[in-house]
């Protein structure tokens, strides 16, 4: 049996472009194939780039985007095809890097143009929310190639759009266009492709202008609601809400509001 040695994974950092725009960290999937096929090394490079911005004190919000043709049109099937059950299990092929995006503490936006299919749709759903151009198409077409979603598609999609629509999408492999994706809650907002970059940056800059300390806590409370029961979520929300009273930014925000001025966030 061929041993799948994860040390041989090539971290394709040259396939990921990063740029600072004021307090926004822009991460662009820039594979030599404009469909951005997601190999293990490519996903690792994407995560490491996002993690670097997450640890950068000058960055308050992260945007993850792709090419004009595709955010990412799926996993790299050429890489996956030779793998056995033992190899994909022993190397933690899916869980090692795909699951790490949920550890990013700063707001992480998926900005989707073109195709976000299979692993690409799963990567977009692993972000905090999705902004889409009007030419975007989403889907989990794994059933068409002898597979099922394996990086969160069958778990996140029902939470976003409900069991019935998710079951339909996963069992048929049909794509969901941008307008339908917005209607069913998969996408937060749709913008015209012509003005997409400008509109995404407006949203990202608005978020980046807030207190990073409060943004992290706000993100945590929403994620708790997504992952637990209502009663557990309410208890967590109360505890996190009370913890904001220990922040300098809590006092600054309250004082700025009462004094009718913009707050001067300390991010602590």
Residues carrying an active site annotation = 75, 119, 122, 142
Distance CA 2, CA 15 (A): 27
Q: What is the DSSP string of 245-260?
A: GGSHHHHHHHHHHHTT
Q: What is the DSSP string of 187-227?
A: -SEEE-GGGHHHHHHHHHHHHHTS-HHHHHHHHHHHHHHHH
Reading the block at residue 195, the tokens are 């003005």
Starting at the earlier edge strand, list the strands of the sheet with 176-177: 70-72, 115-117, 137-139, 176-177
**In 31-162, alpha helices (H):** 40-54, 77-80, 85-90, 95-98, 119-126, 153-161
Distance CA 237, CA 234 (A): 5
Q: What is the DSSP string of 132-196?
A: EETT-EEE-GGGGGT----SSHHHHHHHHH-HHHHHHHHHH---EEHHHHHHTTS-SEEE-GGGH
């Amino acid at each position: 049996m061929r041993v799948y040695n994860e040390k041989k994974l090539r971290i394709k950092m040259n396939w990921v472009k990063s740029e600072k725009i004021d307090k926004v960290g822009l991460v662009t999937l820039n594979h030599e194939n404009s469909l951005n096929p997601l190999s293990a090394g490519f996903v690792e490079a994407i995560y490491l780039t996002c993690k670097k911005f997450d640890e950068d004190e000058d960055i308050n919000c992260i945007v993850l985007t792709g090419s004009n043709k595709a955010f990412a049109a799926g996993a790299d099937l050429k890489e996956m095809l030779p793998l056995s059950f033992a190899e994909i299990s022993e190397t933690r092929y899916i869980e090692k890097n795909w699951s790490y995006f949920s550890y990013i503490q700063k707001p992480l936006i998926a900005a989707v143009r073109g195709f976000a299919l299979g692993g690409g749709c799963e990567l977009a759903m692993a972000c905090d929310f999705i902004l889409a151009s009007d030419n975007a198409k989403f889907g989990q077409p794994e059933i068409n190639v002898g597979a099922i979603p394996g990086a969160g598609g069958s778990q996140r999609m029902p939470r976003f759009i409900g069991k019935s629509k998710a079951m339909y999408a996963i069992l048929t492999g049909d794509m969901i266009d941008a307008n339908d994706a917005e209607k069913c809650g998969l996408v937060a907002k749709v913008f015209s492709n012509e003005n997409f970059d400008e509109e995404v940056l407006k949203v990202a800059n608005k978020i980046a202008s807030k207190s990073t300390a409060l943004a992290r806590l706000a993100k945590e409370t929403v994620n708790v609601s997504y992952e637990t029961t209502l009663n557990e979520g309410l208890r967590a929300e109360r505890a996190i809400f009370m913890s904001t009273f220990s922040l300098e930014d809590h006092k600054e925000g309250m004082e700025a509001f009462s004094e009718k001025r913009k707050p001067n966030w300390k991010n602590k």
